[in-house]
Amino acid sequence: QVQLVESGGGLVQPGGSLRLSCAASGSIFSIHVMGWYRQAPGNQRDLVASITSRGNTNYADSVKGRFTISRDNAKNMVFLQMNSLKPEDSAVYYCNLRQNYNYWGQGTQVTVSS
């Protein structure tokens, strides 16, 4: 079993920044992928960014150049630095770890509004 705990969401004005953190614990394989997904009301849950255990990254087109995913392997943590936030970035953001199963955090709300 794997547990994921997110933190760092909140309310920010358009153009502002937020940094999300996710701490993973439990039976984590050496080869896995961690990522961030988001889901706005009425929408499906979509990939925002992912990073492999080797550090290869992937981003949704809508966040390229604005968001940066990173990880601390020693601490089993993944981060999402979000800059130049837009109202359409508002959603619940979920941390994900994919190995033998797909594991999810409880989600953290990000609201971008003036």
pLDDT in tens, 32-83: 899 999 999 999 999 999 999 999 999 999 999 999 999 999 999 999 999 9
Taking 90 as the threshold, does the pLDDT of residue 9 lie above it? yes
Mean pLDDT of the chain: 95
Taking 90 as the threshold, does the pLDDT of residue 20 lie above it? yes
**What is the sign of the dihedral through the CA atoms of 102, 87, 21 and 53?**
positive
Per-residue pLDDT at 78: 97
Per-residue pLDDT at 68: 98
Beta-carbon count within 10 A of 83 CB:
14
Per-residue pLDDT at 32: 87
Taking 90 as the threshold, does the pLDDT of residue 31 lie above it? no
Per-residue pLDDT at 25: 92
Burial class (CB in 10 A: 0-12, 13-18, 19+), 36: buried
Distance of alpha carbon 107 from alpha carbon 98, whole angstroms: 16
Distance of alpha carbon 9 from alpha carbon 44, whole angstroms: 19
Beta-carbon count within 10 A of 6 CB:
21
Taking 90 as the threshold, does the pLDDT of residue 102 lie above it? yes
